[in-house]
Structure 1
Amino acid sequence: MDEMETMLKLENIDVGVITESWFHPELPCSMSSISGYNLFSQCRDTSKGGGVAVYVRSHISAMHITDITVPDELECVWVLLEPQMLPRDVSVIALCAVYITTDSPNQHLLRQHLLESMDLLHVKYPDISFAILGDFNRMNITLITRSYNLKQIINFPTREQAILDLIKTDFSKFYSDPLPMSPVGKSDHICIVWKPNPSITRKHKNAVRVVRTFKDSQIREFGTWIQDQNWSNVFEANNMQEKVDAFYEQLNSAMESFFPHVTVKNHDNDKKWITPRIKKLIRERQAAFLAEDKTQWGQLRNKVQREIAKAKINYHANSVRNLQHKDPRKWRQQIKVMTNDTKSEHNIHVHGIQNSDHVSIANSINELFVSVSSNINPLDNTKLPSYLPAYNSPPQLYPWDVYAELSKVNRSKPCGPDGFPPRLVKEFAYMS
C-alpha cells in the first residue's frame, strides 16, 4: 500500500481504482487507508482474493450510492462523484469499479445489474455521466456500451498481450488518452493513468430567436382595439389588392404596438424548462447582489426558486398532457427528450466538400436534384388550357362558415405567410 499511496500522490491522482484488492473484513483500517483519500470498497467474506476498492481525494464530494443494491455474487462498488469543476451538461459522475473472473457464471448477472443500475441513476440524475471500469477478463460488454452510448477507451494490453482492464465512459472527450504505467508491487496487471485534457476548451453555442410575447393583458388590449377599429380605408380601396394592403398595414402596425418583438437568447445546454422570465430574474438577482442590496437579493432569490419549481412542474405536466394525443412514435421521441437521451448530430458526407461547409453541401444536393430534370423543356404558360369562365357559380361564404373554419385553427402551429399568429386567429374568430 505504501507503493500505491506514493504513486497516487506522485501522479496527482484524484480517483484511484483497484481490482483484486485482496481486502478482507478483518483487515485493519490502517492497512487499507491512504492519507488524504476516502475509501469505498467491497471485499469477499468467504474466500481470499478478489475485491474492489475506490480511493477518492478528501476534497472531492463523493458518496456510496445507496440506491443500488449489488447482488452478493458480484464484486463491484458504485460511487457518486461531484467534483467542483464539471462540464455544464454533466451534473454528477457515477463510477462503478468492477472485478469478475474469466470463468465466472455471473457474467449475465453483471450485465443485467449494470444496465438496471444505470437506468435507475439516469432517472434520478438526468444529466449524469458514467465511468464503468475494472478487470472484466474478456467478458462481452457490447450490450452495455451500446445501451448508453459508452466508449471503451483502453487500446493497449493490460496483462501480457490481452486487454483485460477496461474503461467504459460517455465523457472521454474531456480526457486525454489513457497511459500505461508500471505495475504496482507484484501485480501482473499494469496501471492505467487517465487524466483530464487541459487543452480542451468547449465552445458553447447561443441561439438567438426573435419572438412575440402574448400576455393576457396584451391580448385584451388588442381585442379592444380590433373591435373599435375603423376599417373605412379598407372598404374604400379601389381594388382587392389595395384592400389587402390596407388591411395588413393596419394589422401589422397594431401587432408591433401590442405584441412587440422580443429577442430571446438560448444556450445550447439550457434545460428544457428554462424560460426567459427565469433568466431575467437571475440577472436581477445578480444585480442586487453586486449592489449589496440584501433585502432585494433575498426576495429575488426566493422568487427565482419558486419560478424554477413552477417551470419544472409546468414543463413535465404539459409534456405528459401532449403525449395523451400522440402516436407511439411521438411518445418515444418525447421520452428521449425528457430523459436527455439524444443522439449526436449526423453529418452528410459529400465527396470533395468539408463536413463543416453546410452551404456547399446543400448546394451540391440541390444541383443533383436539378440535374434529374435538366433535359426536360420548361412549361410554356401560353399553351396551358384555360378553364374560365367556370361552369358553376362562385361559392358563397357566410360569416358562420368563416367562424367555423377559423375556430378550428391549431394555435400551436407557426404563423403563415402573413405573419399573423394562429393563436390570435382562433381567439378572435367570433369577430368574423
Structure 2
Amino acid sequence: MEKIGRSTGYLRCLYTNARSLGKKQEELEALAQTKKYDLIGITETWWDDSHDWSAVMEGYRLFRNNRQGRKGGGIALYVREHYDCSELQYKEGEKPVESLWVKFKGANNSSDVVVGVCYRPPNQVDEVNEAFFGQLSKAARSQALVLVGDFNLPDICWETNTAVHRQSRKFLENVGDNFLTQELKDPTRGCAQLDLLLTNREELIGEVEVGDSLGSSDHEMVDFRILMKGRKESSKIHTLDFRKADFDSLRDLMGRIPWDVNMKGKGVQDSWQYFKEALLKAQKETIPTRSKRGKHGRTPDWLTGEILGELKHKKEAYKEWKLGQMTREKFKDLAQE
C-alpha cells in the first residue's frame, strides 16, 4: 500500500452489542455507508468460521474473534480500509478472552491509539477475568487507549466507583490501577449499565450519544468520536477482472475434480471449506485481477432512497417508543411516591 500524509481530526465510531448480526448485517452496512463511520465495534456477533464472505463489508477491513467451542459471543471490529492500523496480540495464559486490540498509527508523529473491543459474558470464571486484566494492563501502557464492550457488570455504580459483587469490585480495582475513566453515562440496555467506554485519556473521547438499536437487539447503539489524527493510507484494491476471465478453463478445472470421492465422509463445514478452496484456486488460475483506488466517501448503488427512508422511519419510531417508555416509568415512580 502507498502511504500518504493526509490526516483527519477524529475517528467517527459506532459500538453496539448486536446479539447476533445475522439478518442485521444489511442494516449495519447501510448505517456504515450513510454515517461514514471510520470504526465499528460489535460484541455478540454469534459468528462461527462459516461466516466468511457474509461478514465482509465494502470499504472496511475486518478484525474478528469468534467464540470457540460453543455458540454465542464473538466480537468484531470494522475499520475503514484506508487507515494505517494493525492487530495486537496480548497473550495471557491458556484461557480464551473475547477481546480484540487494534493499534492506529498516529499522523505527523502524534501518538498511536490502541482501540479494544471486549465481551465479558455473565458469570465469567475468575481465570478468564484474570487473563483479561493481564491484557488490559499491557494495552494501558500505550499513550492512548480506548476500550469499548459489554462487560455485564450492572452492579457497578460509576458515579461513586462502588460495586456489590466481588468480581465487579475486582474489575473496578483494575480500572483504577490502569488509570482508566468510564465515559459512557447512559445505560444501553434498559436501566442497566452493561456496555462501557473506557479510556486512559479523557480528552480522546467526544460527542458520545446513546440511542436506537441495531435490528431487534435489546442493546442501544453508542455513537462517539475518538479525537485523534489518524494516518491514512491510499490503498490500491485488487478486484477480479471478469472481462478478461477464461470461463471455459474455469469450468474445465472445476469439472475435473472428483467431488464425490474427495468429499466422502466430510461434514457440511469441511465440505464447504474444500469447495471454497478449490474454487479460489481455480479462480486464481483463470480470472486475472486489476487494481483500483478505494471508493471512500462514495455511496454504493444499492443504498437507495427507499432504504434510507426505512432507516429514518425506524429511528423515529424507536425515539417515540423510547419517549413513551420513559414517560410511563416517570408516572410509575410518581404513583409509588
Give the structure-1-normalised TM-score.
0.41
Once the two structures are superposed, what CA deviation does each residue of 1:379-418 show, in whole Å capped at 9, x if it has no partner? xxxxxxxxxxxxxxxxxxxxxxxxxxxxxxxxxxxxxxxx
Query: 5 Å matches for 1:99-138?
Result: 99-106=119-126, 109-110=128-129, 112-121=130-139, 128-138=143-153
Q: Aligned partners of 1:71, 1:54: CA distance in 2, in Å?
A: 23
Unaligned runs of 5+ residues in structure 1 are: 199-432
What secondary structure sits across from 1:182 in the alignment? strand
Seen in structure 2, the aligned counterparts of structure 1 residues 58 and 117 have a Cα distance that, compared at 3 Å, is same
Q: CA deviation at 1:82?
A: 1.5
- Structure 1 residue 81 and structure 2 residue 128: aligned? no
Cα displacement string for residues 293-316 of structure 1 (whole angstroms, at most 9, x for unaligned residues): xxxxxxxxxxxxxxxxxxxxxxxx
Matched, 1:45 2:65: no
1:11 aligns with 2:35: yes
**Aligned partner (choices 170, 174, 195) of residue 225 of structure 2:** 195
Which amino acid is 1:133 matched to?
A: V
Cα 1:183–1:70 change in 2 (3 A) is farther
Aligned partner of 1:97 in structure 2 is 117
Tell me which residue corresponds to 1:60. 83
In structure 2, what is the Cα distance between the partners aligned to 1:115 and 1:192?
24
- Is contact 2:146-2:200 (8 Å) kept? yes
* Aligned pair partner of 1:35 in 58, 63, 69: 58
Change (3 A) 1:118 1:100: closer
- Does the 8 Å CA contact 1:136/1:164 hold for their aligned counterparts? yes
Shift of 1:72: 4.0
Q: 1:100 to 1:20 in 2, by over 3 A?
A: same
Contact 1:79–1:94 (8 Å) recurs in 2: yes
1:148 alignment counterpart: 178
Measured in 1, the distance between the counterparts of 2:212 and 2:106 equals 28
Distance in 1 (alpha carbons) for counterparts of 2:54 and 2:142? 37
Which of structures 1 and 2 has the larger relative contact order (alpha carbons within 8 angstroms, sep 6+)?
A: 2
Cα drift, residue 195 of structure 1: 1.5
Aligned counterparts of 1:45 and 1:118: Cα–Cα separation in 2: 21
Task: State whether residues 114 and 144 of structure 1, in contact with CA within 8 Å, keep that contact through their aligned partners in structure 2.
Answer: no
Indicate the residue corresponding to 1:162 in structure 2. Answer: 192
TM-aligned CA deviation for residue 11 of structure 1: 2.1
CA contact (8 A) 1:21 1:51 kept: yes
- In 1, Cα distance between equivalents of 2:94 and 2:81: 28
Q: TM-score, normalised by structure 2?
A: 0.51
In structure 2, what is the Cα distance between the partners aligned to 1:18 and 1:85?
A: 30
Distance 1:105 1:174 in 2: 32
The structure in which a higher percent of residues are helix is: 1
Q: 2:27 aligns to what SS in structure 1?
A: helix
Deviation at 1:48, TM superposition (A): 1.5
Larger radius of gyration: 1
Shift of 1:186: 1.7
Conserved 8 A contact 2:183-2:205: no
User: Residue deviations 1:194-252, cap 9 Å, x none?
Assistant: 12469xxxxxxxxxxxxxxxxxxxxxxxxxxxxxxxxxxxxxxxxxxxxxxxxxxxxxx
Shift of 1:136: 0.2
Q: What displacement does 1:119 show?
A: 4.1
Q: CA deviation at 1:65?
A: 0.9
In structure 2, the CA distance between the partners of 1:104 and 1:46, relative to structure 1 (3 Å rule), is: same
Q: Do the aligned partners of 2:117 and 2:147 also contact (CA within 8 Å) in 1?
A: yes
Structure 2: unaligned runs, 5 residues or longer? 1-24, 154-166, 229-337
Tell me, yes or no, if the aligned pair for 1:75 and 1:98 is still in contact at 8 Å.
yes
Deviations 1:250-285 (A, max 9, x none): xxxxxxxxxxxxxxxxxxxxxxxxxxxxxxxxxxxx
One-letter amino acid of the counterpart of residue 188, structure 2:
T
Matched residues in 1 for 2:133 and 2:98: separation?
A: 15
Q: Decide whether the 8 Å contact of 2:184 with 2:208 is kept in 1.
A: yes
Larger strand proportion of the pair: 2
Q: Take 1:158 and 1:85, find their aligned partners in 2: how far apart are those partners?
A: 36
CA spacing shift, 1:33–1:69, aligned 2, 3 Å: farther
Q: CA RMSD in A?
A: 2.4
Q: Tell me the distance in 1 between the aligned counterparts of 2:204 and 2:138.
A: 25
Matched residues in 1 for 2:95 and 2:123: separation? 17
How many equivalent pairs are there? 189
Asked if the contact 1:60–1:83 (Cα under 8 Å) also holds between the matched residues in 2, the reply is no
